Amino acid sequence: MTFNAARDRSGTKLSCRLLSVCGFGTPQWDRVVVTLVPRAAQRSNRLAADRRALTDIPTSTGSFSLVTLELGPDDKRMRLRYAGMCRLCGQVIAAGVEAIYERGTKTVRCLDCVPITTAPEPGTAGGSARREYERRRDNREQRIRTDHPKLGGLILALSDAPQSTKAWESGAVGEELMALRLADLPDTFRVLHDRRIPGTRANIDHIAVGPSGVWVIDAKRYVGKRPTLQVEGGLFRPRVESLRIGGRDGSKLVHGVQSQVERVAAALAEEPPHITGVLCFLEADWPLIGGSFAVEDVQVLWPRLLVKRMVEAPPRVLDIDSVHEHIARSFPSAA
């Protein structure tokens, strides 16, 4: 949102004229008032807003937070037919008084009360892959030093870790590099890293939610190898597309992304937004012209092009913060 703001004499309130909105739909207010709340008072539930969106901003009198007026998707402002009790402060709300009805919990709260919530933890990119690499590396070192007490250090210095161990380190580096590139996205996007898939040992590298929808991203670091699209069949046989990486079959990677997309869609079953599955290859041998393609509805490209497409893709109708929070709950951080 863009505001034209003026501070009042007390220095604690900003009278703001809404100039533009990044999103969709018609705003509920064309004029809002925001209150600067000292950090020490943030624990209080009695904040003058219907729903809190906190952003630290510097002022001449210290560090404050910005509180915006915004009703949540499950909140409804209404005049009560019957008396009720605010679930936050316990104050009795008389019949006929305006209050916020929370559909999700079927409770009411005062207009001046707002639930204290925290933003979902974004997670640590490559965290689980790096832990697995370190576990394998340490186990190998301990095993060699136990079997060869005198020569263990020399053996470790002259030998490399198995490829199966180094693959975990390479994967962790790829996810970390991908996270750095995703940091270039506008602040209208919300990004989650290294999310655990409940009931499995698998994880999703990155999930981004923004105006262009939900993006499920699997980062792959295949140094010097070229991803290509192989097409078989045609006039007399069914057309079959497959991913090749340096000449080797990469269908397993495509199916893995498809499975992740299905799981995210199932978690958002009530109102599934547009979801795009992506295989993003880092440090690969991409051609100077072209190179990106789609196979079985999975986009195959490199980080810079991915960010460009995420930003330029047609806008979708979705509540970005709500979808972001829902996905964060459904797929907790693997840390």
255-297, pLDDT tens digit by residue?
A: 999 999 999 999 998 777 899 999 999 999 999 888 999 999 9
By C-alpha distance, which of 71, 204, 59 is closest to 125?
A: 204
CA distances from 263 to 36, 199, 268, 331 (A): 40, 12, 9, 10
Name the residue with tokens 């960010």: 307
CA dist 306 and 289 (Å) reads: 16
Q: Minimum mean pLDDT among 25-34, 108-117, 174-183, 261-270: which range?
A: 25-34
> CA 215, CA 192: separation in Å to the nearest integer?
10
Q: Which two tokens stand for residue 315?
A: 């806008």
Q: Is residue 125 pLDDT above 90, yes or no?
A: yes
The predicted structure's pLDDT at residue 64: 37
Q: What is the pTM of this model?
A: 0.66
Sequence-distant (6+) residues with CB within 8 A of 10 are none
pLDDT digits (tens, 9 = 90+) for 184-225: 999 999 999 999 999 898 999 999 999 999 999 999 999 999
Residues 6+ apart with CB under 8 A from 153: 145
Burial bucket for residue 212 (CB in 10 Å: 0-12, 13-18, 19+): buried
Report the share of the chain in percent with pLDDT over 90. 55
CA distance linking residue 94 with residue 80, whole number of Å: 8
Reply yes or no on whether the pLDDT at 81 is more than 80.
yes
Half-sphere exposure of 237 (CA within 13 A, CB side): 5
The residue ranking higher by pLDDT, 87 or 148, is 148
Q: Are 75 and 99 in contact (CB under 8 A)?
A: no
Residue 104 CB partners (closer than 8 Å, separation 6+): 74
Cα separation, 73 vs 103, whole angstroms: 9
Could you tell me the two tokens for 70? 């915004």
Amino acid at 74: D
Instruction: Quickly state the pLDDT bin for 72 (edges 50, 70, 90).
Output: low
**Which residues, including other chains, have CB under 8 Å from residue 285's CB and lie 6 or more apart?**
224, 225, 226
Displacement of CA 205 from its chain's centroid (Å): 10
Structure-derived torsion over alpha carbons of residues 85, 88, 90, 95, reported in degrees to the nearest 10: -30
Q: How confident is the model at residue 73 (pLDDT cuts 50, 70, 90)?
A: low
Helices (H), 183-295: 251-267
Measured CA to CA, the distance from residue 69 to residue 15 in angstroms comes to 12
